[in-house]
């Protein structure tokens, strides 16, 4: 079901988003060679609980951790593990969410671990940029699949693969609400976007093929060619004009030129 939030509910989602932006900023500071993906998860849970929030991922569908931590060829849903030690040159995606006063926010960032190759830095930067291109189309009166078309229009020039098996989603009191928000061009337009809808837009971009497969752990998706993959996500608020990005810090919004 697609839910339209009241202004009061939007205010709570704004608060949740700001907390999540702070969580990600703190996590960015601990990413370095030598730490494990479980170290990141433990820090994430501690930070989230420090803000009196509930880590929404923990136990969701049986997921064992507060963050999905996906390294290199892992696209999403990496399970934190004490034996997975980050190495110089890796890229790591951290996807996590909070519940604040019953309202959810969901966001992901991909970080370089130490010094990485130029091509992998480009992948991270272009994946983030594709989010900002996509949300330019996320305006009341447009259709939800206009977002994916804008992502694809930008990404196609690089020869990357846009993941199709996983998509963005509506968000509110539930982490995953309708509508689905694809990151690629669809034959159908999807539903019409309306003011005070809140959605999570989350391009997942692969260096090589768009194709992904699930590992035997029943969670983690990897690119089938094992080339690196990046993920960038924010929870946004649909408005009459350009959307408001709820899960970025004020200084990040200024940097990226968004509301």
Which of these ranges, 52-60, 145-153, 197-205, 206-214, lies near Mg ion under the rule CB under 5 A?
197-205
Query: What CA–CA distance (Å, rounded) separates 250 from 62?
Result: 34
Could you tell me which of 125, 59, 62, 55 has the C-alpha nearest to residue 95? Answer: 55
Contact call for residue 200 and Mg ion (CB under 5 A): yes
- Window 11 to 70, contacts with Mg ion (CB under 5 A): none
Q: How far is the CB of 157 from Mg ion (least distance, A)?
A: 25
Query: What CA–CA distance (Å, rounded) separates 29 from 92?
Result: 13
Which of these ranges, 1-9, 102-110, 116-124, 136-144, lies near Mg ion under the rule CB under 5 A?
102-110
CA atoms within 13 A on the CB side of 245: 27
186, two tokens: 């669809």
Query: What CA–CA distance (Å, rounded) separates 229 from 13?
Result: 29
170 burial via Cβ count (<10 Å: 0-12, 13-18, 19+): buried
- Window 126 to 185, contacts with Mg ion (CB under 5 A): none
Which of these ranges, 12-20, 191-199, 201-209, 244-252, lies near Mg ion under the rule CB under 5 A?
201-209
* Choice between 73 and 106, CB closer to Mg ion: 106
Binding residues for Mg ion, total number by CB under 5 A: 3
Chain contacts with Mg ion (rule: CB under 5 A): 106, 200, 202
């Amino acid at each position: 079901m697609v839910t339209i939030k009241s202004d009061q509910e939007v205010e709570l989602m704004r608060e949740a988003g700001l907390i999540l932006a702070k969580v990600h900023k703190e996590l960015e500071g601990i990413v370095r060679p030598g730490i494990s993906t479980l170290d990141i998860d433990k820090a994430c849970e501690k930070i989230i609980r420090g803000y009196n929030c509930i880590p929404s991922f923990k136990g969701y569908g049986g997921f064992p951790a507060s963050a999905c931590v996906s390294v290199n060829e892992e696209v999403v849903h990496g399970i934190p593990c004490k034996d997975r030690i980050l190495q110089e040159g890796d890229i790591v995606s951290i996807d996590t969410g909070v519940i604040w006063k019953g309202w959810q926010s969901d966001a992901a960032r991909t970080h370089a671990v130490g010094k990485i190759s130029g091509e992998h830095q480009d992948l991270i930067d272009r994946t983030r940029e594709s989010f900002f291109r996509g949300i330019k189309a996320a305006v009341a009166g447009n259709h939800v699949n206009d977002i994916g078309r804008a992502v694809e229009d930008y990404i196609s020039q690089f020869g990357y693969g846009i993941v199709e098996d996983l998509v963005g989603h509506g968000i509110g009191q539930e982490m995953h609400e309708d509508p689905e928000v694809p990151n690629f061009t669809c034959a159908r337009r999807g539903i019409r976007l309306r003011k005070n809808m809140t959605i999570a837009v989350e391009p997942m971009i692969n260096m090589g093929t768009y194709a992904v497969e699930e590992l035997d752990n029943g969670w983690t998706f990897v690119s089938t060619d094992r080339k690196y993959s990046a993920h960038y996500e924010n929870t946004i608020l649909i408005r009459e004009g350009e959307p408001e990005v709820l899960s970025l810090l004020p200084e990040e919004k200024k940097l990226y030129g968004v509301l």
